[in-house]
């Protein structure tokens, strides 16, 4: 699926851009993307390493384990196939809470750490496991209580009350989360049947 989407975006851009006489701009955009990717990943690397360092301490001291166990009743329902006190559950909980607080920079390292843990538990490393997909559903539909950059943008644009979008956005977000979790369990069941 990713192969087809990626190929479509590139090939159609060259054909359509070329037909409109914009072929130079399309080429320039491709080259510029190299720079943006470096900017993003390099910009992320420092903070990523910082949180991974802290995370390692939290892991070795048993803190992650503690958090995992405290929220086990909840996570056990979402991830029945993961052992109840596995540290990967701690990383998942930390990722979700960081997203909730709008700490995107902290959320990504926790999330990648959780993915590494889920990968260790997976039978086939090249294929997304059931728990990985459930986790991705949680990450992509995460609820943000403090969308900091959005509030800043609204403030800069002269909104009377920059915070007034938070309530509706949390509500819409919760609807998305509920829908995604339902779709996830329905599709997981369908895939499990197909495998048998």
CB closer to another protein out of 75 and 131: 131
Place of tokens 């596995």: 86
Is residue 169 close enough to count as binding another protein by CB under 8 A? yes
3-state secondary structure of 122: coil
Site for another protein in 70-99 (CB under 8 A): none
Query: Whole-angstrom Cα distance, residue 142 to residue 144?
Result: 6
Site for another protein in 21-60 (CB under 8 A): 22, 25-26, 28-30, 32-34, 36-38, 40-42, 44-45, 48-58, 60
**Segment interacting with another protein, rule: CB under 8 A, options 68-76, 81-89, 180-188:** 180-188
Query: Whole-angstrom Cα distance, residue 94 to residue 110?
Result: 6
Find all residues with CB under 8 Å of 44, minimum gap 6, and list them. 105, 108
3-state secondary structure of 22: coil
Is residue 192 close enough to count as binding another protein by CB under 8 A? no
Q: Which of 73, 77, 123, 126 binds another protein (CB under 8 A)?
A: 126
Is residue 183 close enough to count as binding another protein by CB under 8 A? yes
């Amino acid at each position: 699926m990713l192969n087809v989407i990626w190929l479509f975006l590139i090939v159609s851009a060259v054909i359509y851009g070329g037909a409109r006489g914009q072929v130079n701009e399309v080429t320039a955009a491709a080259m510029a993307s190299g720079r943006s990717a470096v900017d993003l990943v390099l910009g992320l690397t420092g903070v990523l390493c910082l949180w991974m360092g802290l995370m390692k301490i939290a892991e070795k001291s048993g803190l992650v384990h503690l958090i995992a166990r405290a929220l086990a009743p909840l996570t056990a329902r979402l991830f029945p196939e993961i052992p109840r006190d596995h540290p990967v559950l701690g990383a998942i909980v930390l990722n979700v809470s960081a997203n909730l607080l709008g700490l995107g920079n902290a959320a990504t390292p926790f999330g990648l750490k959780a993915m590494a843990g889920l990968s260790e538990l997976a039978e086939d490393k090249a294929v997304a496991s059931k728990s990985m997909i459930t986790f991705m559903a949680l990450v992509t539909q995460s609820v943000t209580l403090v969308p900091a950059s959005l509030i800043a943008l609204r403030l800069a644009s002269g909104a009377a009350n920059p915070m007034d979008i938070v309530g509706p956005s949390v509500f819409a977000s919760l609807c998305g989360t509920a829908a995604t979790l339902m779709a996830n369990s329905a599709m997981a069941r369908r895939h499990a049947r197909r495998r048998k």
